[in-house]
Amino acid sequence: MKAIIIAAGKGKRLKHYSENLPKCLLPVGDKSILEWQIETLKSFDIREISIVKGYQADKINFPGFRYYLNERYEFNNILNSLMCAKAEVCGEVLISYSDILYGRRVVERLLASPHDIAVVTDVDWKEQYVGRVDHPLSEAETVLLGEGDRLLEIGKRMRRKAEANGEFIGMIKLSARGAETFTRCYEQARERFWGKPFVAADTFENAYLTDMLQFLIDEGETLYGVPIEGGWREIDTVADYEKACRDLGAQPALFEGRS
C-alpha cells in the first residue's frame, strides 16, 4: 500500500493563516496537519508517500517522499492536482486530501475494505456543521449510500442531496484493479470533457475528486462507502483551524472517533 496526498491548494478561507504557508503546514498542537497525516500513515507501515504540491511548493520539503508539482494549481482543482501524480495511481493506493486530521481508526477501516474503489464516508457528518457558519452544511461533499454501503451518489451538488446519509471526508482507497479503472476513465473523461462542463463542475479543469467518482458511478462502475462515525476533522476555515487547535490541545485522542 502506498499513499498520495493532494496538497496543491492555498486554502483561501483560512485568510491570514495561509498567507505565508500552504494550509497543510499549519500547526495543530505540536505537528503540522501534514505531519499528523504522515505519522498516522506510517503507523500502518505506509511509507511510500507521494505529495502533490502547488501553492508555496518550496515550503513542503520533508525528506524521503516523492513530490509532484501542479504548476496550474490556481487554474484547476483537486482532480487534476491528483493526476499530476498519475504515475502513482497504480497498484494499491490510498488517496487523501491534505487538509484533514484523522485518527488511526479511519485508516484501519479503509484498509479493511475489500472493494476496488472504497470511499470513506462519515455517517455522523451533520454534527460537525453545528455552528459552522463559514462552511455551511450545503457545501458538504455529501454521499448517498445504498444497500451494502454501495455508493449511489456523491458530491457537493448531488441530485438527491436531501437524501444524503453521509459526508465524503476526502480519502479513498484503490486496489490495483480500481486504480486501473480510475485512470482509464479519467483519460476518457479528459478527452471528452476538457473545457466543457463535467458532472457538477463548470469545466473538467475545475472538477473535484467527487466529480470523478460520480462519473465512475454514471459509467456503471461499482463503488462502495466505508462508513465511519466521526474521528476526523476538516480544516477549511479560520474557525475550523482555531477550533481544532483548541480541541486537540485539550483532548489528544480527539480524532480517534467511536468504535
CATH code of 117's domain:
3.90.550.10
Question: E strand or H helix at 217, and its extent?
Answer: helix 209-218
Alpha helices by DSSP H, 93-132: 104-112
Would you state the pLDDT for residue 94? 98
pLDDT at 254 over 60: no
Asked if residue 203 lies in contact with residue 110, where contact means CB atoms within 8 angstroms, the answer is: no
Q: Is 83 helix (H, G, I), strand (E, B) or coil?
A: helix
pLDDT at 131 over 80: no
Would you state the pLDDT for residue 257? 43
| Predicted structure pTM score | 0.94
Band (pLDDT 50/70/90 cuts) for residue 248 is confident
Average pLDDT of span 190-218: 98
Would you state the pLDDT for residue 139? 83
User: What's the distance, CA 226 to chain centroid?
Assistant: 14
Q: Is 237 helix (H, G, I), strand (E, B) or coil?
A: coil
Would you state the pLDDT for residue 252? 45
Give tens-digit pLDDT for 185-197.
999 999 999 999 9
Band (pLDDT 50/70/90 cuts) for residue 250 is low
pLDDT at 9 over 70: yes
Average pLDDT of span 219-225: 98
Average pLDDT of span 8-12: 90
Would you state the pLDDT for residue 179? 98
Residue 97 CB partners (closer than 8 Å, separation 6+): 5, 6, 78, 169, 170, 171
Give tens-digit pLDDT for 76-91.
999 999 999 999 999 9
Asked if residue 17 lies in contact with residue 244, where contact means CB atoms within 8 angstroms, the answer is: no
The DSSP secondary-structure symbol of 147 reads G
Q: Is 227 helix (H, G, I), strand (E, B) or coil?
A: strand
Give tens-digit pLDDT for 169-187.
999 999 999 999 999 999 9
Q: Domain total for the chain?
A: 1
Q: How many residues does the chain have?
A: 259
What is the pLDDT of the chain when averaged over all its residues? 93
pLDDT at 67 over 70: yes
Would you state the pLDDT for residue 49? 98
- Please state whether beta strands 93-97 and 2-7 pair in parallel, antiparallel, or not at all (unpaired): parallel
Would you state the pLDDT for residue 129? 80
Asked if residue 235 lies in contact with residue 99, where contact means CB atoms within 8 angstroms, the answer is: yes
Asked if residue 22 lies in contact with residue 10, where contact means CB atoms within 8 angstroms, the answer is: yes
List the beta bridge partners of residue 28.
Answer: 31
How far apart are alpha carbons 80 and 173 in whole angstroms? Answer: 17
pLDDT at 207 over 70: yes
Residue 81 lies in domain: 2-256
The single-letter code of the amino acid at 164 is: A
